[in-house]
Structure 1
Amino acid sequence: MVGKLEGRVLLVAFSLLVLGLVFVYSASFPLAMRLFHEEMGFLKRQLLGAALGVVLLLAFWHIDYRLWARLSPLLLGFTFGGLFLTFVPRLGVGGRWISIGPLSLQPSEFGKLALLFFLAGTLAEREPRDFRYGVLPYLVLLGIFGIFFLLQPDFGMFLLYGALTFFLLWTAGARAGHLLGAGAAGLPVLGALLAMAPYRLGRLLAFIDPTSFRHSYGYQVYQSMLALGSGGLWGRGLGASRAKFFYLPSAHNDFIFAVVGEEVGLLGALLVVLLLAALVALGYAVGREARGRLGSLLAFGAAFLLGFQALLNLGVVVGVFPVTGLTLPFVSYGGSSLAVSLGLVGILLGVAREAEA
């Protein structure tokens, strides 16, 4: 029997899943025709991600989350192994993916699940009040991930991992001074990353003044804002976007929300935002209803991951944040991203299932 809270989470999540599949098809078919000579090329791959995601959802929903927390060191080991394989010739693709036959998997996406289980599992056992033994080990772990993300490079994913780590440390009781001090110590590292990669500095400059850089680093954001603005209140109509016809790069993944706004207008775009906000709110409700500290941390962490990633993506599309390369959960193209988003929903369902038993 599905409880009331479980039912609400399922309804919102699968509404987002259906909307995402519709918009992936709509935003991707011009590029799919060019690359695969069929309109549904990207949609078929997204459906594989959805199938894997449903498997993860069911596993995390019906298998006790305490078992997954105990297995988290092993899951982290698999994550580091996967990140290493992205650099292996003929196996790694683009520094971020592993190619397995027709599939491309992104280990850093699945690593979000491993990191969440590890952080929640260990922080549930003790409060991180002491810096040396309660906070520093997690910062070291984050630094190891940072090395991989620097080499890939994937600054957006590192930002997401870092935000999750700091959020759960704070939620578990870490002193604000310790976290603020650690964050301040990381600012020189951020400056070094900008200096080492000119394109990151270019993205930052384009964020400050997208109009002046609209033909270079700010091209994507400028085209994104044009697409959003042209949609008006009601949109051009589903499938009628002009930006996706090779004016807007990454129209089907990082910048798909611009296509959403262009095709279904402000009202349709707000529906997507409200569904995402509702899922995050339900996640925090699950965390409050959880029977134990571990369940609370897992639910809060899952909700935070979905909400923070959505916030960063939407902020980039509307020009509020610099480009990060992060997808919009459930909506953007990306099989690994979709599978992990459904996996996070499975965690929420697993915690809610116990709370409502």
Structure 2
Amino acid sequence: MSEHVLITGGAGFIGTRLAARFVKAGYTVTVLDSLIAQVHGDDPKITSPLLRSLDGVANTVHGTVTSKDDLRTALKGATIVVHLAAETGTGQSMYEIDRYVDANVGGTAKLLDIITNEPNEVKRVVIASSRSIYGEGSYRTEDGRLVFPNHRVDADMAGGDFDVHMPGEGPLTMVPTDESALLHPSSVYGITKQMQESLIMTVAPTIGKEAVSVRYQNVYGPGQSLKNPYTGILSIFSTLIRQGKEINIFEDGLESRDFVYIDDIVEATFLAATLPQAAGGTFNVGSGVATTVNDVIAALFDAFGTTVPTKVSGNYRLGDIRHNIADTTALRDVLGYEPQVAFADGVKRFVEWVLTEPIEGDNYERSLAEMAERNLLK
């Protein structure tokens, strides 16, 4: 019997490339995707290049993980499930709570319920988890102790203090966060990703299925949605640059993330789904390098060959973290993989692709207004 992969949420930025990777390796692929307008436009067959890229690659099922009937259809013959389907966006999750929990937690529960209680051929389930489950991640105290600070508080940030603190401790130093770190997400999105991971890593082994978790850092690259204002700052800033608009830099511009290129995410996920030694494992997938917002803007200006005005406003979003970078030792030691694309090179590839795309509208401004109305953007 040939291996048959189901990728939930597989018509998205990551899923379409992952589908092609599996097909290249000789696997049969089915994709289940709800094709939401926020990502794919109002008429996906026309407005979604991602969906069109699956033609001749995968069997596409237009449906949702919140429907057991859709899941049953998509699961037929599947021996591996890569569960990418999720509502994404830290900010939006803080006010569209029911939708995020229903899709992310409810959809995962339905998937597991079917695999547990109905005949199927599934042998391994891979969950696409997130760095958001770590909250503020790992820090060292002045005397060298490893600590996991609580979320930043509104009062400090309102006063312009954006750093992470712990009562009774002096200055803290960020260190790479490994898979054993405390899980304490600071957003509804993060909570739902932790629950997705916990459900799969707990249930699957009890019913004789292998479970693997891949904790993605900040993914970017060609094909990333330029319509969806919740997909990340590279898309947002690129659109502002092309429109000649000012970039509003939140906090002080020194907040940092671990940006990982799409090709590295795809290869790490493929290995997590196929290598025997991955079974039961949890793996950070990131570059292991901290890149600040200021660094991102400088790299984009260089790649575009132009600049726009910038303003360090001190605005901040409740639920955002200050820093996070991944310790990728397990990815290297167990799966034998290290990310290949440096940020500067990845940004150039991303911008080359962006310049072939139409300039999108002001969805970002609308998203900020929605957050401000709910007192989540200060």
Same fold (TM over 0.5): no
Q: TM-score, normalised by structure 2?
A: 0.24
Q: TM-score, normalised by structure 1?
A: 0.25
